[in-house]
Amino acid sequence: MMILRPIQQSDYPALLKIAHESGHGFTSLPNNEELLQSKIERSEASFKKETDVPFDEGYLFVLEDTETGEVVGTSAIEAAVGLDDAFYHYHLSKVIHSSRTLNVYKAVDILTLCNDYTGATELCTLFLKEGHRRGFNGKLLSKSRFMFIKQHQQRFADTVIAEMRGVSDDNGQSPFWQWLEEHFFSMDFPTADYLTGIGQKVFIAELMPKYPIYVNLLSDEAQEVIGQVHDNTRPAIELLKSEGFTFNGYVDIFDAGPTVEAKVDNIRTVRSSSFRTVSIGDNPGGSPVMIANDKLEGYRATVAELQIDDNTDTVVISAELANALNLVDGDKVSIATI
């Protein structure tokens, strides 16, 4: 059985392996042992913290195969970005150059450095090991976060965003960054990405161009990847689009990958999930659904085949499933379509 749960200190070796495997461009999980340890500590503190206002909390989850004990993936939620450190994007928009005298009218794309998503909740650190990218694992790893947000909505902002990994090659070279490096920086993309991941963002404010960049002045290769995702990221962005997330012109400042956004109340899983009361007994089977307990530190979620009756607020689950989710008779659970 695959169970999503909060990370704990004993998961550090597994998190380190995932950081190695995730490769370049995975900014939120840099290959830095000290930082990974601090991420686990921060997550544990966040789950224990009593708050009703989103601030600097970071909730890091792992997906565990209970049969083998192996941690096969991670996902996370940042409660509110940019409150203690600047959160940068480029915004893609247009300016018009026109002259009635010369009968010239031309719309030109520009990129403007901004901090427009300050205070938003961010979905991040989604990674599933290659051998486990099958069945419902990816959906559980991603969508169960929406159930957690709904259960503890006071801990999160009204706007939720997700930065999608942009285009780069196997060596971590980004066409967009190569243009920026040539004109404004003297470091390669993996180095810039790593520095951002470990929180050293001062160089962005110091070296990034302060004025809008005309897109048609970029190299053809850089122009082509603006708003495009890495091949490995396509399933993730398609899933988010199906949940109601949209691209509104904001891209990453390093690889120009798109950032998508949605209002919490418009997210499909948030709208469609329902609360049920647990009854432990013989599970008659049914259709696969996501099921999660309503706990904070003890949060657990999985996919199970359950019979959902719209005429009752009770759901019957097996003793095995109840044990896996830390449930007893009468507990409340969230149910959502997978």
How open is the CA angle 175-19-173, to the nearest 5 degrees? Answer: 10
**pLDDT per position as a tens digit, 242-265:** 999 999 999 998 899 999 999 999
Output the DSSP codes for 153-199: GGGS-SEEEEEPP----TT---HHHHHHHHHH-SS-HHHHHHHHHTT
Using the predicted structure, report yes or no on whether residue 291 has a pLDDT greater than 60: yes
Residue 310's pLDDT is 84
- Supply the pLDDT for residue 103: 92
- Single out the catalytic residue among 24, 89, 152, 230: 230
pTM of the model: 0.91
**Residue of 43, 39, 90 whose CA lies nearest to 197:** 39
Question: Would you tell me how many other CB atoms lie within 10 Å of the CB of residue 335?
Answer: 18
The predicted pLDDT at position 23 comes to 67
Amino acid letter, 267: I
Structure tokens at 110: 């520009």
- Per the annotation, the verdict on 97 as an active-site residue is no
Ordered domains of the chain (ranges, CATH) = 2-89+115-269 (3.40.630.30), 273-337 (2.40.40.20)
pLDDT (tens digit, 9 = 90+) per residue, 176-225?
A: 988 988 888 777 767 776 666 666 666 676 777 888 999 999 999 999 99
Residue 109 tokens read as 């794309």
Q: How does residue 232 score in pLDDT terms, banded at 50, 70 and 90?
A: confident
> Strand pairing of 121-128 and 213-214?
unpaired
Question: Between vectors from CA 86 to CA 52 and to CA 35, what angle results, nearest 5°?
Answer: 80
How far is residue 105's CA from residue 163's CA, in Å, rounded to a whole number? 34
pLDDT in tens, 37-66: 999 999 999 999 999 999 999 999 999 999
Mean pLDDT calculated for residue range 132-147: 95
Mean pLDDT of 280-290: 91
Across the chain, mean pLDDT equals 91
Lowest-confidence segment of 4-13, 75-84, 146-155, 276-285 by average pLDDT: 276-285
pLDDT at 287 over 90: yes
Q: How many CA atoms lie within 13 Å of 53's alpha carbon, on the beta-carbon side?
A: 3
